[in-house]
A and B are shown apart, each in its own frame.
Chain A
Amino acid sequence: MNEGGMSEQAVVSLKGVRKEFGRGGIVALEEIELDVRAGEFVSLIGPSGCGKSTLLRIVGDLIQPTAGDVVVNGKSAHRARLDRDYGIVFQDAVLFDWRTVERNIGLPLEMTGWSRQRRSERVRELLELVELAGFERHHPWQLSGGMQQRVSIARALSFSPALLLMDEPFGALDEMTRERMNLELLRIWEQTGSTVVFVTHSIAEAVFLSTRVVVMSPRPGRITGIVDVDLPRPRGNETRELPRYAELIRDVRRNLRRGGGFEEEADAGPETDLIVAEEGL
């Protein structure tokens, strides 16, 4: 199910994608062109309201674009969602309090009709992967924020999707936990070989994790620039000491500034309100 290694085939292909909200014509995204190749780790970074979360949801067919083509895993985004080709992780772990960790991770598998035996085996594998073995019977409210996110990641990986979509998953964690989770995520990514599209606020995080960093401008969101991150792998704490790391952070920052990302935007309100309103959630 996974595309092993780097091939030239695009897992996600966006052409001319545009998104307007409501009749008032708030243009969230304009002319987005992006290809994400198999096995890549692509970060989307930009100021609040630049549309990065919207873009992620468009890839996941949770929002429909106003114009443009979205091809995921060689199919339409809609088809990809119905075929469950991707797993998604939100900033909030979104675990169900009334289910144990085991049943939370097994949720998508339940819905695909996996047998109980297969499910518990897979859950055990995943818990080992995210280093939470032994926590099967716990409830989400008994776990720390970082642990909850790990459960959320395990759940997203449960059916071994080709694509992993992550919307600021570590945004609610403290700096130390965040750095630790970054290392965890890289390890998991290397082990599973999936493709990752990662939305973040943090320049440092984007550079540390990715193969490429896509910089977006404030609303209407456009791609200002793409920075190739050529830091050696496997990356670890030493990577942050490399001069190249600081250079890349500077590059990303320059791109952000060029796109106007550091201007105080009076009108860039939180995206989530628009998303919620649009989807009638």
Chain B
Amino acid sequence: MSSIVQRPPAGPGWAGMLRRLSDWAPAVGVFVLGIAAWEGLTRGLGVEEFLLPPLSSILETLREQWSLIWSAGLFTFKEALGGFAIGSAAAILLALALARWRGVGRAVMPYAIAANAIPIIAFAPITNNWFGILSPASKMAISGVLVFFPVLVNTLRGLTSVRPAQIELMRSYAAGELQIFRRVRLPAALPYMFSGLKVGTVLAMIGAIVGDYFGGSQDALGILIRRSAGIFDFKLAWAAIVVASILGMLFYAAVAAVERLTMRGYPSARGADL
């Protein structure tokens, strides 16, 4: 599988840094253009405020109500993080087990794939009833289940991506199953696992916020958005939406950073696109 942007990795030194800058320049350019368009079009075309306020008013609202929005964001982020941790831990453990006992893995796979086709989010009201509407556990459960499947599928694919020749090589060294696992399967699985984890970060945040729509604590971000939209305070609603989005991106970036650190030696063509 080729990555989307295929190039050898940028080396160290000035040339490398210049290359890295030029890689990011178009994205920065689009960002600047986007911001300008946002501001210009919303003010210029007189778009109603509740549809999309100009960026400047959103930023102003953010500044004014920072502590409210940020604490709501952190509350929801903790729910997402909890769900992410539980979901990915369970998924990784199960993937390890399924890779070890291949027969079970093969039998279970189609059902895992089918289970992934179920709209998990529809179970939010049920977890609310299980763990209580106000308890973060109900949102963590939803986020956890949402995160579980992509991490499981990806990690399992990575663990089983080992080529037969590599196994033969290890056997020629009289390596036992455990050795083969430690030295070959695990390192080979890392890029795939991180791919799944990155998808999981986004799903976890979404799960936590959408879960709020079925009822949640007043401290949660989703509730804040709903409430402010309900009293027609759209600037606050949008400000909260912006914060939700930023938190999601930061979460993703954090995992991507961990990926880059742990996989220092891997060819950059492997692993995900960003």
Contact = CB atoms under 8 A, between A and B. Distances in A.
* Direct chain A–B contact by Cβ atoms under 8 Å: yes
Interface of A: 57, 60, 62, 81-84, 86-88, 90, 92, 94, 96-100, 107-108, 111, 139, 141, 275-276, 279, 281
15 contacts: A86-B172, A88-B168, A90-B169, A92-B163, A94-B169, A96-B184, A97-B270, A98-B263, A98-B266, A99-B265, A100-B265, A107-B173, A139-B267, A276-B164, A281-B164
Nearest to B102: A280
A281 B173 contact: no
B165 interface: yes
Contacts of B10: none
Given A81-B174, A111-B179, A279-B164, A88 B265 contact: no
Contacts of B164: 275-276, 279, 281
Contacts of A100: 265
A108 B172 CA distance: 9
Interface residues of B, number: 24
A98 B265 CA distance: 5
Nearest to A88: B172
Interface string B165-193: 11111011111000100011001101000
Interface string B258-269: 000001011101
Contacts of A107: 173, 183
Contacts of B166: 94, 96
Contacts of B165: 90, 92, 94
Contacts of B269: 141
Given A100-B265, A279-B164, A62 B172 contact: yes
B169 A81 contact: no
A83 B174 CA distance: 8
Contact of A84 (B168, B173, B187, B190): B173
A100 B265 CA distance: 7
B262 to A, nearest CB: 10
Please list the 8 inter-chain residue pairs (A to B) with the smallest Cβ-Cβ separation, ordered nearest first. Answer: A281-B164, A141-B267, A88-B172, A82-B174, A98-B187, A94-B165, A108-B173, A98-B265
B188 to A, nearest CB: 8
Nearest to A60: B172
B167 A97 contact: no
A60 B174 CA distance: 11
A281 B167 contact: yes
Contacts of A98: 187-188, 190, 263, 265-266
Given A107-B183, A111-B179, A276-B164, A97 B169 contact: no
Nearest to B190: A98
Contacts of B270: 97
Contacts of B267: 97, 139, 141
B195 to A, nearest CB: 15
Nearest to B264: A98
